[in-house]
A = this chain, B = another copy of it.
Amino acid sequence: MAALRCLPGVGPKSAQRMAYHLLQRDQTGAGRLSSALRGALDRIRHCERCNSFSEAALCELCASPRRDGALLCVVESPGDLLMVEQTQSYRGLYFVLLGVLSPLDGIGPKEIHLDRLLKRATDGTVREVVLATNFTAEGEATAHYISELLTARNLQVTRIARGLPVGGELDHVDAGTLAQAVLERRAV
């Protein structure tokens, strides 16, 4: 039970229910989970190029010849990479920061691998860097810092759009979002 508490969203009650369920009704499942965790810990590492999770030195995306090497999307975490992939709207490659700038927590440019990002973005293949960090204070500060860094190297830097959600109505969004949607209006 104590070990199960490491799962996100699992409190003492859930941990107890899970433990009894596994032991009483699904020992096969428990065995499979145990080996899966062990296997993942043993085999999964970070891709040398994009920092995402990978079993090989290069992840499947970085190794794929079908992706557009001229586009490089910067995200905070491997989970965010997966979110962008699931939209099927992006055919380029990624760079995962594994964090965001957060000086108060001691997380500076070095901790989020900005030296490696700079090297990667200026390797001659990348033409556009798409900043897809979150629109939180830290995510915005990180995007700003990276854009200063890269535009100085004559790279095209873009930021994913802010505005109304798909299907969104004006009287269901907050004033801040609507203000951004008006300020960042697009030519039709």
Interface on A for B, CB 8 Å cutoff?
73, 75-76, 79-80, 83-84, 86-90, 130-132, 134-136, 139, 143, 147, 151, 156-171, 173-188
Is B186 a contact of A159 with CB atoms below 8 Å? yes
Contacts of A162 in B (CB 8 A): 161, 163-166, 168, 181
Copies of this chain per assembly: 2
- Chain B residue with Cβ nearest A150: B188
Q: How far is the CB of A40 from chain B (nearest CB, A)?
A: 20
Is A182 a contact of B134 with CB atoms below 8 Å? no
- Chain B residue with Cβ nearest A184: B161
Knowing A87-B175, A151-B188, say if A161 contacts B181 (CB, 8 Å). Answer: yes
What are 29 of the A-B contact pairs (CB < 8 Å)? A80-B170, A83-B170, A83-B178, A87-B176, A87-B178, A88-B179, A89-B178, A89-B180, A89-B182, A89-B183, A90-B182, A135-B164, A135-B165, A135-B167, A135-B168, A136-B167, A136-B169, A143-B188, A156-B187, A158-B186, A158-B188, A159-B185, A160-B163, A161-B184, A162-B164, A163-B164, A165-B174, A165-B176, A166-B177
